[in-house]
C-alpha cells in the first residue's frame, strides 16, 4: 500500500509538470493582449507543450486588467497579477519569476513585437542543447533608426566589452531561461536590461542567442523614453559593482581605503623624516604645515579612513537590508 501511494504521488507530479511558463509584463496593452495570448496558446498546443501564461499588469491605466480577467475566464492556463501602481518592468519580471513553475521560462513583451512562433526553438535550445539562458537577437528591427536602432547597437557593444558576454541584443524582451536561473537571481530597479550579466555572475555561464523575428508595433506606442539613455549606463555600472562586491562591499572599499591610507601615511612619514634629517644636520628647514606634502598626506589618510568606513558600513547594511523588491499586489487570478 505504501509503495502504491508513492507511485501515485510520482504520477501526480508528472501530470502536474509544466514545460513552459510564459511571463509577460504588461503596461497599457489592452488592444494586443487577446491576440497575443491566443497566438501563444495556439503555438504551444500545436507543439503539445504543457504551459502557463503569467500576465503581470504593471499599473495599467487603460482596460488591460479587464481584458486579462476576461481572458483568464476563457483559458485556465492564464494566470495574472495586478500591481497597485507602476513599479517597472524589473518588478514585473521578478514577481513573474517567483510564480513561474515551468521547466523553461520564456519572457516576452506584451506589444506583439515578439513572435510566439520562436518559443519552441528557444525551449529546445535550453532543454536539448543545455543552455542556461538564450537571448533573442532582433537582427532586423522595425524601430526608429536614430532613437532606437543606433543607440541600441552602441549600448550592446558597450555591454559586450564590459561583461564579456557575446550576445548582440542584451535588452531583447524575448528570452528563454532554465528554471533554476530565474530562481537564483534577483531583478530589481532597472536591472531587467542586464539579466544575462546577473545570470553569469550567479554562475550560469552557458548563455547563447538566437536570431528572432521582430514584428512591427501593431497597437499603442513605446513605453521607453529618452531617460533610458541616462539610466542604462548607470545601471550597467551598478550591476557590475553589485555582482562583484554586493555581498562584501569591504572587498572594494576596504582595499582602496587601505591603499590610499598607506599612500597618505607614506607622504606624512616622508615629511616627518625629512624634517628630522634637516634639523639633525643643521640644514635650513620650514614648518611641517608649510609643506604641501603635509596637506596631501592629511587628505589621503582622511579619504582612506572614509573609504574603509564606507566598506564596513556597507557590509553591515548588506547583511541587514530588507527585500529590495517591494511591490503591492492589488488582485491575483
pLDDT at 1: 47
Percentage of the chain exceeding pLDDT 90: 43
Q: What is the pLDDT of residue 16?
A: 67
Give the span between the Cα atoms of 325 and 91, in whole angstroms.
7
Q: Quote the pLDDT of residue 262.
A: 93
Q: What is the pLDDT of residue 10?
A: 46
Q: Three-class SS of residue 52?
A: strand
d(C-alpha 202, C-alpha 213), whole Å: 29
pLDDT at 11 (0 to 100) = 43
pLDDT of residue 186: 83
pLDDT of residue 222: 64
How are beta strands 133-137 and 175-178 bridged, if at all?
Answer: antiparallel
Residue 198 confidence (pLDDT)? 85
Contacts 24+ apart (CB under 8 A), 10-18: 17/50, 17/103, 18/50, 18/51, 18/52, 18/101, 18/102, 18/103
Query: Which residues are registered as beta bridge partners of 178?
Result: 104
Q: For the chain, list residues with pLDDT below 70.
A: 1-16, 141-151, 220-247, 315, 318-331, 333
Confidence at residue 319, expressed as pLDDT on a 0 to 100 scale: 57
Q: Shortest CA distance to 171 belongs to which of 228, 97, 126?
A: 228
Amino acid at each position: 500500500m505504501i509503495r502504491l501511494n508513492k507511485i501515485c504521488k510520482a504520477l501526480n507530479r508528472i501530470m502536474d509538470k509544466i514545460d513552459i511558463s510564459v511571463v509577460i509584463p504588461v503596461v497599457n496593452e489592452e488592444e494586443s493582449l487577446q491576440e497575443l495570448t491566443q497566438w501563444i496558446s495556439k503555438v504551444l498546443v500545436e507543439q503539445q507543450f504543457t504551459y502557463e501564461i503569467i500576465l503581470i499588469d504593471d499599473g495599467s491605466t487603460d482596460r488591460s486588467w479587464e481584458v486579462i480577467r476576461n481572458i483568464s475566464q476563457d483559458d485556465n492556463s492564464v494566470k495574472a497579477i495586478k500591481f497597485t501602481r507602476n513599479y517597472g518592468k524589473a518588478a514585473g519580471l521578478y514577481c513573474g519569476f517567483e510564480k513561474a513553475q515551468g521547466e523553461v521560462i520564456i519572457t516576452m513583451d506584451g506589444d506583439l513585437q515578439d513572435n510566439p512562433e520562436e518559443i519552441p526553438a528557444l525551449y529546445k535550445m535550453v532543454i536539448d542543447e543545455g543552455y542556461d539562458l538564450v537571448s533573442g537577437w532582433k537582427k532586423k528591427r522595425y524601430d526608429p533608426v536614430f532613437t532606437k536602432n543606433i543607440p541600441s547597437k552602441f549600448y550592446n557593444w558597450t555591454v559586450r566589452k564590459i561583461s564579456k558576454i557575446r550576445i548582440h541584443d542584451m535588452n531583447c524582451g524575448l528570452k528563454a531561461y532554465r528554471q533554476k536561473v530565474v530562481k537564483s537571481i534577483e531583478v530589481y530597479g532597472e536591472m531587467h536590461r542586464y539579466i544575462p550579466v546577473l545570470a553569469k555572475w550567479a554562475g550560469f555561464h552557458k548563455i547563447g542567442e538566437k536570431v528572432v523575428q521582430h514584428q512591427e508595433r501593431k497597437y499603442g506606442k513605446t513605453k521607453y523614453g529618452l531617460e533610458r539613455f541616462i539610466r542604462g549606463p548607470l545601471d550597467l555600472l551598478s550591476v557590475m559593482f553589485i555582482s562583484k562586491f554586493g555581498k562584501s562591499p569591504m572587498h572594494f572599499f576596504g582595499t582602496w581605503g587601505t591603499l590610499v591610507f598607506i599612500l597618505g601615511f607614506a607622504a606624512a612619514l616622508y615629511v616627518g623624516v625629512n624634517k628630522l634629517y634637516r634639523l639633525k644636520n643643521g640644514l635650513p628647514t620650514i614648518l611641517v604645515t608649510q609643506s604641501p606634502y603635509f596637506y596631501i598626506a592629511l587628505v589621503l589618510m582622511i579619504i582612506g579612513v572614509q573609504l574603509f568606513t564606507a566598506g564596513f558600513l556597507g557590509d553591515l547594511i548588506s547583511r541587514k537590508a530588507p527585500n529590495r523588491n517591494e511591490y503591492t499586489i492589488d488582485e491575483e487570478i
